[in-house]
Structure 1
């Protein structure tokens, strides 16, 4: 191992969710109460998650996941990476959170 690198950094995340930023940008919002927020921001707000590694779960916007559905955003739960979700614009955020294993209850 190279000198000066940390071997581990702790986080409080129970789950890590990857949200395609390219899909979100194509929709130009589409989520939240007014329909103007991106999926990542709307999920964080709905679940009362903070940003960074001290949050209970991580919702991370990534460049492109390569699926590119029309009118939807590609989302991957890191713990269940074999099944990807295609979330249409205006979808109920509680339903999305439940499907990702991020139950607010």
Structure 2
């Protein structure tokens, strides 16, 4: 079998990646954001001001199913700490979640950039 080399690399500014279970989010049918109608991934992207995916300070990625399936919550995995998964209940305060994860909101100059 011939070895293949990776020829192309794509850079990102991520300090970490947050993996959000899409199946849990779908079962909740929202539950986050100001009106409680956004998925956790979308609400986190808004919380961190993510507009340009690769250039954002944090990556929020929805994955198929993580297999935990909590009731009334969404499973979240921080890539910096893959041994501890978090169950985020519907309506949770995202500022507190960001603080718990050790992540800060982006500077105002980043939020206004498009």
TM-score w.r.t. the length of structure 1 is: 0.90
Q: Indicate the residue corresponding to 1:48 in structure 2.
A: 49
Q: Indicate the residue corresponding to 2:96 in structure 1.
A: 95
CA distance in 2, matches of 1:40, 1:51: 15
Query: What RMSD over aligned residues (CA atoms) do the two structures have, in Å?
Result: 1.5
Q: Could you list the per-position Cα deviations for residues 46-86 of structure 1 after superposition, in whole angstroms to 9, with x for gaps in the alignment?
A: 11112421111100000011100000000000011111100
CA distance in 1, matches of 2:65, 2:102: 22
Change (3 A) 1:51 1:23: farther
Q: Which 4+ runs in 1 deviate beyond 4 A?
A: none
Q: Determine helix, strand or coil for the equivalent of 1:79.
A: coil
Q: Indicate the residue corresponding to 2:4 in structure 1.
A: 2
Q: Determine helix, strand or coil for the equivalent of 1:19.
A: strand
Pairing of 1:57-72 with structure 2 (within 5 A): 57-72=58-73
Unaligned runs of 5+ in 1: none
Unaligned runs of 5+ in 2: 107-114
How many residues of Structure 1 are paired with residues of Structure 2 in the alignment? 104
From the CA coordinates, give the structure whose radius of gyration is larger: 2
Q: Indicate the residue corresponding to 1:77 in structure 2.
A: 78
CA distance in 2, matches of 1:17, 1:30: 18
